[in-house]
């Protein structure tokens, strides 16, 4: 049996993707729209407060394409806090207008392939920044879930610990080339969601996502062992942008 690698966990994460029923939204009176916007803004402002309090992190993104319109991304200390966040939005009673098209529940993860030296986040500032991340204020986000393949000789989980470490080391060399332009947050979800990991990338230019991911496809860790889920790309928005995005005024 191949030996698993220990992981270190940080904040829990919920990627909550909503699709707006524009036909229903435009039928609402201006007063109804404003009441709905005020209710959403109040809830989102509470989530955003976690950034100032450093008790979590929050970002809102306008998505491009047919997979959704808005992503609410929350990081918190516990699953209970994410449940509260989820239900705060549900209690607004606007699921007919803001339908959930996808969600992803996971926890920030750092493998001990990468965590060298002192593995205690209380005394290691590098680990604290990785495990309890403040979401970057960059213009764009790219999120996708992924699995490690389990097919014949291309079975990640039958590789030895050293083989996996070396593969991830080579994989990391490519990623490091982009460290000035891309920030990456890895979350683990084995037993929590349908995929094994979530990858969230942040950059000011979305073209960088294409270049990074394309180059990594030639890396052995990706070419042999990676299966990718859907990709979501969006522009970061602030609470004050909600009215601009959802009304013509």
pLDDT per residue as tens digits for the range 57-97: 999 999 999 999 999 999 999 999 999 999 999 999 998 99
Q: How far apart are CA 66 and CA 1, in angstroms?
A: 43
At 118, the pLDDT band (50, 70, 90 cuts) reads: low
CA–CA–CA angle 225, 132, 128 (5° rounding): 95
Checking if the pLDDT of 248 tops 80, the result is no
Strand partners, 143: 200, 232
Q: Domain 7-246 is in which class? A: alpha beta
Q: How far apart are CA 47 and CA 64, in angstroms?
A: 23
Residue 171 host element (H or E):
helix 161-176
Q: How far apart are CA 164 and CA 5, in angstroms?
A: 9
Q: How far apart are CA 202 and CA 184, in angstroms?
A: 6
Span 90-102, pLDDT tens digits: 999 998 999 999 9
Q: How far apart are CA 136 and CA 130, in angstroms?
A: 12
The set of catalytic residues is: 144
User: Could you give phi then psi for residue 63, rounded to 5 degrees?
Assistant: -85, 150
- The pLDDT value recorded for residue 195 is 98
Q: Note whether 131 and 8 are within 8 A (CB).
A: yes
Residue 88 CB partners (closer than 8 Å, separation 6+):
43, 46
Checking if the pLDDT of 117 tops 70, the result is no
Instruction: Return the higher-pLDDT residue of 199 and 54.
Output: 199
Q: Note whether 228 and 198 are within 8 A (CB).
A: no
Strand partners, 232: 143
Q: Note whether 146 and 226 are within 8 A (CB).
A: yes
Neighbours of 89 (CB within 10 A): 20
Span 187-206, pLDDT tens digits: 999 999 999 999 999 999 99
Average pLDDT, the chain: 92
Q: How far apart are CA 32 and CA 15, in angstroms?
A: 27
- The pLDDT value recorded for residue 114 is 57
Checking if the pLDDT of 115 tops 80, the result is no
Helix (H, G, I), strand (E, B) or coil at 36: helix
At 50, the pLDDT band (50, 70, 90 cuts) reads: very high
Q: In whole angstroms, what separates CA 50 from the centre of its chain? A: 17
Q: Note whether 113 and 165 are within 8 A (CB).
A: yes
Instruction: Return the higher-pLDDT residue of 225 and 115.
Output: 225
pTM, whole model, 2 decimals? 0.93
């Amino acid at each position: 049996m191949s030996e698993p690698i220990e992981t270190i966990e940080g904040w829990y994460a919920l990627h909550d993707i909503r699709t707006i029923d524009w036909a229903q939204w435009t039928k609402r009176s201006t007063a109804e729209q404003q009441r709905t916007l005020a209710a959403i803004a109040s809830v989102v402002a509470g989530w955003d407060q976690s950034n100032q309090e450093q008790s979590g992190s929050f970002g809102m993104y306008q998505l491009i394409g047919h997979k959704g319109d808005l992503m609410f991304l929350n990081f918190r200390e516990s699953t209970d806090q994410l449940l509260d966040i989820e239900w705060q939005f549900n209690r607004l009673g606007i699921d007919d207008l803001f339908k959930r098209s996808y969600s992803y529940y996971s926890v920030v993860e750092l493998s001990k392939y990468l965590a060298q030296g002192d593995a205690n986040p209380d005394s290691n500032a590098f680990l604290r920044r990785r495990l309890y991340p403040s979401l970057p204020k960059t213009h764009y986000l790219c999120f996708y879930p992924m699995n490690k393949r389990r097919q014949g000789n291309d079975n990640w989980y039958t590789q030895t610990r050293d083989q996996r470490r070396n593969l991830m080391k080579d994989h990391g060399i490519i990623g490091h080339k982009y460290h000035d332009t891309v920030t990456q947050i890895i979350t683990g979800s084995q037993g929590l969601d349908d995929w094994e990991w979530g990858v969230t990338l942040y950059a000011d230019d979305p073209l960088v996502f294409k270049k990074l991911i394309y180059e990594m496809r030639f890396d052995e860790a990706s070419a042999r062992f990676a299966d990718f889920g859907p990709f979501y790309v969006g522009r970061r928005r602030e609470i004050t942008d909600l009215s601009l995005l959802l009304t013509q005024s």
